[in-house]
Chains A and B, each alone.
Chain A
Amino acid sequence: MNVANPEGYTTPDGRRIGGVLMEMKNITLRFGGVNAITNISFDIRDGEIRAIIGPNGAGKSSMLNVISGFYVPQEGEVWFKGYKRGPMKPYQVARLGIARTFQNIALFDGMSVLDNIMTGRLTMMKSGLLGQAIWWGGAQREETENREKVEKIIDFLEIQNIRKTPVGRLPYGLKKRVELARALAAEPKLLLLDEPMAGMNVEEKEDMSRFILDVNDEFGTTIALIEHDMGVVMDLSDRVVVMDYGKKIGDGTPDEVRNNQDVIDAYLGVSHD
């Protein structure tokens, strides 16, 4: 498998990965005098599951925020679908086909699971406030269509039984799943997951891993994820970027990364003798 082939490559389990979907070129991000990210370049291929790992404070979340357009780097370029991306508003990012979940769940606690997921489709609704209020003609049709899409996602993630439950009453693992559902509702081309397994027990992690693989397989969604659980990362992802102190110290398939001396040093520490 030649992962450097610009046309794409085939994974060991037989999935076809396409060309470059997103490319980060020489990104540097500074907060005041602190370099959060220093001169990092990597790409994300179409259909791939791409992980970003690293010890605490390595700059992973900053990197994800650069990908999502929330942070604008001082240096470097972000290319998406073959175009160079300038500074953008969050809704513009969403319309481009990028959706994300958050490390600390960001759902509307008082709203039902269904309504929360429906908010994921807001950018696709065209009818105005008045039309929505009267709920007639186009607005009604639009809501029905969007509801259908949302119901398919509910079915996919097996959360039918909590459809009408307020999110605030759900256990942590299910909230994470609802967040994933909301991100999927936007029908993203690229899905960003910020620590999807944090704080989960083994069973919940297994479920979440299965859903991530199924999303990638069923919808062809490209996924970039940050995760601490090394076992999960190595099993799930096709390629891994390793960061330490804002620098890229490794990039490649899980096996390549696992045998990279810099990565081993960063994770296990180096003796100073």
Chain B
Amino acid sequence: MSENATTDHPQSIPALLARNAARWGGYPAYREKEFGIWQSWTWAETAAEVRAIALGFMSLGIERGDHVAIIGRNRPALYWSMVAAEMCGAVPVPLYQDAVAEEMAYVLDHCGARFVVCGDQEQVDKVLEVQDRLPGIHHIAYLDKRGMRKYDHSAMNALADISAEGLAGHHRFEEELNRRTAELTYDHTCVMLYTSGTTGKPKGVVLSNRNIIETSKNSAEFDRLNHNDDILAYLPMAWVGDFIFSVGQAFWTGFTVNCPENAATMMTDLREIGPSYFFAPPRVFEGQLTNVMIRMEDAGRIKKRMFDRYMALARKVGPAILDGKPVSGMDRLRYWLGNVLVYGPLKNTLGYSRIRVGYTAGEAIGPEIFDFYRSLGINLKQLYGQTEASVFITQQPDGEVRSDTVGVPSPGVEVKIAESGEVFYRSPGTFVEYYKNAESTASTKDAEGWVATGDAGFFEEGTGHLRIIDRAKDVGKMADGSLFAPKYVENKLKFFPNILEAVVFGADRSMCTAFINIDLTAVGNWAERNNIAYASYQELAGHPKVYEMIQSHVEEVNRSVAADPMLSGCQIHRFLILHKELDADDGELTRTRKVRRNIIAEKFADLIDALYVGKDEIYTETEVTYEDGRKGKIKATLEIRDAAVVAPEQRMAAE
């Protein structure tokens, strides 16, 4: 490990900030679109802003080790607040801004937050709602003053006013602030992030300066990131990836972090910035591809033919050109022409004109989607990571990119596969501990520093690339003893644009069954083109034609699953289309949109029963939570269909 890592570079995020202000003082550090214009702050200005906020915190009496909760969308001032908190010796804790008040209460209580920095009135209201249970909260700060005038300001202030107060009193606070900043070491806590947790309560992952800086340094060198790069910060601030990209790597390399105007303008802002380094979960790439395809369906005949023709060429030679493999001169010329006519304008529309390095992770990405972007010449790669690893465990080097692997171990990371098939890693980014949870820390990280990922996988022979099959605890056996890997099948289903989400059941059962969630955008558009009228999601989901379409998808997946002798038992015998979208507000997905299998199995137990007892339809009532926290019920009668399966010949022969 890197105990002997050199000490010739700054040992904390505030120290990096001071270095950047000196080295790249005039270069842009943060941008935010506001009032229709990109506002920009240089590294020198950023350092001044952060110092002002830190002085403000000092004026409020912040202590070493205090926790400062940060809640809001990606905004420069919130990133600065995190760094300012560390300067004061406190620990920043970013929270998911779309969490409901109850979820926030748990985290605020668990970390014992003394200060809360909120983006706007909405977040302040949520904190106030649960504040009577959280006597530890000393002061609330907010960025956006709108609607806040009538609030009781005895323990609340605008962040701008707090920094102004700090600046006014800088003679009183400066000495103590400088002392605290100077005593920060590589082993001080840099940030604490709560894992969304597919099971149980969220856990607070403590990451030190060493974790963040070493990981940022290694990963930045891996992709040769530098201070001229641009990223778009639009993913939740509470997610470890955003902290690594928008703070860790940004402070290490000095590149520019661009914050969108708001969530709804993200696509426009992406196009305007044209980031050179970009991360997005697969669903973003899927969504964009679906949009492109829908718009091409409506395009004129000439445009459509040109698009189809050149996309076919791109699919053939694009990835090879990107990987630097030999391609004939004629194809190169045609690809160049295609770039002028189709790929270039398309990339510009998507905001990907300048991308040098793009990553996706979190879920499996469909091979067609992955190849589509790569064939356009976008260097999209995959990585595999975790909060506990400060993101990076494995990633794909340039030129060795495939959709079905997650790459080779990142620099400085050791990976091993246990007997059970579970993946373990050890790295300088390995988390310090789970906050106030020694038991979980011990069960996750052993004495030698190896961490269990909870995922089952294997190294591919020949290439040395890691392949992930499924969550280790989800991989099970069916009643007849054959292997059951639900995620493997679900991913195959989700590769169809019409299927948004799928949940496969079958552990200890005689056969596999599935819940399907349709994608309203894709299926809605299909319905429009085929003159199918519908009034609601529920009605569209239950339409016989939709059922037919989904059935054909399921049967295609069955054929593909049957081709793999080890997993042929996972073919789907029966399925139904759910009457509601699985939603994090109802607890069915995590905030990062991962399926919570147990909760779904519990909540829809009646539907699962119906799948296995052989009913053709089932009446059900489901409780739903609306965005404002109110609850309601939806009722539906769902149809259940049988899907054709391929006879498991190989297995019969083997027995």
**Chain A positions near chain B (C-beta within 8 angstroms):** 13-14, 147-148, 151-152, 154-156, 158, 160-161, 163, 210, 214, 217-218
Contacts and interface: CB of A to CB of B under 8 A. Distances in A.
B265 interface: yes
17 contacts: A148-B35, A151-B35, A151-B36, A154-B36, A158-B262, A160-B36, A160-B264, A160-B265, A161-B261, A161-B264, A161-B265, A210-B147, A214-B146, A217-B149, A217-B150, A218-B146, A218-B149
Given A147-B36, A151-B36, A14 B261 contact: no
A211 to B, nearest CB: 10
A88 to B, nearest CB: 34
- Determine chain B's interface SS by DSSP, over half rule: loop
Contacts of B36: 147, 151, 154, 160, 163
Contacts of A14: 150
Contacts of B268: 161
A261 B596 CA distance: 58
A210 B150 CA distance: 13
A254 to B, nearest CB: 18
Interface in B11-57: 34-37
Interface string B250-280: 0000000000011011001000000000000
A200 B268 CA distance: 28
A158 B261 CA distance: 10
Contacts of B264: 160-161
Given A160-B262, A160-B264, A214-B146, 5 more contacts: A155-B34, A155-B35, A161-B264, A163-B36, A217-B149
Nearest to B262: A160
Contacts of B37: 151
A161 B262 CA distance: 8
Nearest to B626: A203
A272 B34 CA distance: 62
B33 to A, nearest CB: 8
B39 to A, nearest CB: 12
A36 to B, nearest CB: 38
Nearest to B33: A160
10 tightest CB-CB pairs across the interface, nearest first?
A161-B264, A151-B35, A151-B36, A161-B265, A160-B261, A160-B265, A214-B147, A217-B149, A160-B262, A155-B35
Nearest to A161: B264
Nearest to B264: A161
Contacts of A160: 36, 261-262, 264-265
Contacts of B265: 160-161
Q: Which of B35, B147, B264 has the most CB of A within 10 A?
A: B35
Contacts of A155: 34-35
Contacts of A218: 146, 149
Given A152-B35, A161-B268, A163-B36, A217 B147 contact: yes
A245 to B, nearest CB: 39
A268 B37 CA distance: 53
Contacts of A151: 35-37
Contacts of A154: 35-36
A217 B147 CA distance: 8
B330 to A, nearest CB: 42
Contacts of B146: 156, 214, 218
A216 to B, nearest CB: 11
Nearest to A155: B35
Contacts of B35: 148, 151-152, 154-155
B262 A13 contact: no
Contacts of A163: 36
A148 B34 CA distance: 11
Interface in B263-300: 264-265, 268
A154 B326 CA distance: 52
A161 B35 CA distance: 12
A218 B262 CA distance: 21
A255 to B, nearest CB: 20
Residue among B34, B36, B150, B264 with the most chain A CB within 10 A?
A: B36
Nearest to A214: B147
A147 B35 CA distance: 9
A197 B35 CA distance: 27
A165 to B, nearest CB: 11
A13 B149 CA distance: 11
Contacts of A148: 35
Nearest to B147: A214
B600 to A, nearest CB: 28
Contacts of A156: 146
B150 A13 contact: yes
Nearest to A218: B146
A163 B261 CA distance: 12
